[in-house]
Chain A
């Protein structure tokens, strides 16, 4: 049975979408831009970062576009002063939570958090920095995990479970104590289920996961490869 077509309005413009699509997918298919960080095309969407929030008719709550399914007749607004303000707050809270020292980061100049801050006009944060004391896991032969740069987007968790099928990564603890862990909270180098494929590194939007030996600004990620591979393999099908 062919998927049912629905009509929605995005920023006032009538857009045809398919039942089962998310607002983000429908928006992108019609050339509309909604900022995202935790979303990676081809992998499941989890609504972790809250950057893709939109306003939808009939509710005062802001909804994450990446996990909200389209409904026939719905009307969404993807950009407004209110949304821009909440998106800036989201970026600021990500920046204060851990130690994002761009100047000395392997991903400086190629980081999605950094470029998102710029494109949203975040020139400073309005909250006190947390300055947590976080470890760097250097135990893997080829890769590094720097918790200081992690924004808990869980792209690595999803790409490892859904595309590589190894399910090395998981998030432990809650709230401010949440941490990325490999296998049963072992050092990455001792995680026996890791195939060292590097998909987690390529998917990571920041400098949290990187190749060993990269200096400042040297870590170039190829998450477009991850997306095309995931789409072709039909991860979500």
Chain B
């Protein structure tokens, strides 16, 4: 049987959702028997592949780089899952949203810095005006809130997809 092509992505988040994914522990073995993890922070691939069945996306869309990534991911993924509060609501990254970006950078990199004062510009992606949930930019097929979502919830979602079922997450997850 052809294996399911599974990807995970880390945008503006703390990697806690990926930690929670790893917390499924030994259950990762049956998952990898049915699915290949073709992209993500846990594997080596550098470029997002052309043809992915399921992508779990952690983090909000905060920078131009995040935006480019999520659009590419959407174009090459059949099922896109917003994993965790940052991807679903904006969460902690969105707490900057009422502050103008220039003011924010000035406060942190100039007023808040003891040495090497100055807003970095080379080699770092430009921040968007606000950090927003994925759904503000792309169609999301399933929302799995939580900070982070529990390992059980993530495993249930992945297992349901692998078994060809549409996951029911409503009662298993909560914000925060």
Contact = CB atoms under 8 A, between A and B. Distances in A.
Nearest to B96: A131
B143 A102 contact: no
B59 interface: no
How big is chain A's contact interface, by range? 20 to 34
Nearest to B88: A124
Contacts of B92: 101, 103-104
Given A114-B174, A121-B170, A124-B143, A101 B98 contact: no
B176 A109 contact: yes
B89 A129 contact: yes
A102 B175 contact: yes
B52 to A, nearest CB: 22
Contacts, number: 72
B145 A123 contact: yes
A123 B98 contact: no
Interface residues of B, number: 29
A124 B135 contact: yes
A108 interface: yes
Contacts of A128: 136
A108 B91 CA distance: 13
Interface string B85-100: 1001111101101110
Interface in B121-176: 130, 132-133, 135-136, 140, 143-145, 147, 169-171, 173-176
Interface of B: 82, 85, 88-92, 94-95, 97-99, 130, 132-133, 135-136, 140, 143-145, 147, 169-171, 173-176
Interface of A: 95, 99-105, 108-109, 111, 114-115, 117-118, 121, 123-125, 128-129, 131-134
